[in-house]
Amino acid sequence: MAKKKKNGVLVFLLILLIFLVVGMFAFMMRTADHSAFEPIPIEPPTEPVTEPASVFDKNDPNLVLVNKESVVDESYEPEELVYIDESMRAADRAPQYQRMQPEAAAAFEALVNGAAEDGLTIKVTTAYRPYSYQADLYNYYLAVKGEEWTKQYSAPPGTSEHQTGLAADVSCPSINYELDVSFGETAEGAWLEQHAHEYGYILRYQEGMEAVTGYSYEPWHIRYVGTEAAEVITEKGITLEEFLGDI
């Protein structure tokens, strides 16, 4: 009888132990941090980062590239050319070569007026030059100044920006409207370097860029490209060739 009673106690204790283990397990499951078992969210793939499209169009007529590699056809002539205001033209040059495309001419006149507001005088010597005139000029320089100088400062016919009606050679009274590197040291030359881009013009043949442009430094030669392009080119200190290569 005592043995049966003892066995009953053991069974009771065993059942109690089982309830305790199950209860403790249930308690631990309720209080456990389940974050470790939660799936890690997967971020959706992001779109590749791309540079914004350029706002410039290489086919913009104002951005036409003319140099020793990019040649203008002999028969090319702008659709329309207008005379620059007479007061802004050097008087000892032929008037027919003091014309530009209308947009470039208007911008040039605004530039000259801007310089005048600062007490400076800038005038155009020559602007548009047809193929025939450029050929005559190039041959003249060959005969008078020699081949080495001519290759540095004068464009062979068909490779001159002047044929586009977008380029102008300018000077000032202090150097008798000559086209000379000393123009860069005049007040007008300094003003032009600082402000030309505000009117859509760039200094086309910059100092130190001879290997890119193919021509020696010409502080008197300016080229119309439009205000937005001129601002970028001037701010970056690059040439038209480099600018067009970037867009």
Consecutive H or E run containing 141 = helix 131-145
Domain ranges of the chain: 61-246
Residue 221 has pLDDT above 50, yes or no: yes
Cα–Cα distance, 58 to 247 (Å, whole number): 7
Could you say which of 3.30.1380.10, 1.10.274.10, 3.30.230.70, 3.40.50.880 is the CATH number of the domain covering 61-246?
3.30.1380.10
Beta-carbon contacts of residue 34 (< 8 Å; ≥ 6 apart): none
Cα–Cα distance, 201 to 79 (Å, whole number): 21
Please confirm, yes or no, whether 185 is among the known catalytic residues.
no
Q: What is the pLDDT of residues 116-126, one digit of tens each?
A: 999 999 999 99
- Which of these ranges, 19-33, 156-170, 217-231, has the smallest mean pLDDT? 19-33
Which pTM was predicted? Answer: 0.78
The dihedral through the CA atoms of 62, 68, 71, 75 has a sign that is: positive
Which of 38, 77, 185, 218 is flagged as catalytic?
A: 218
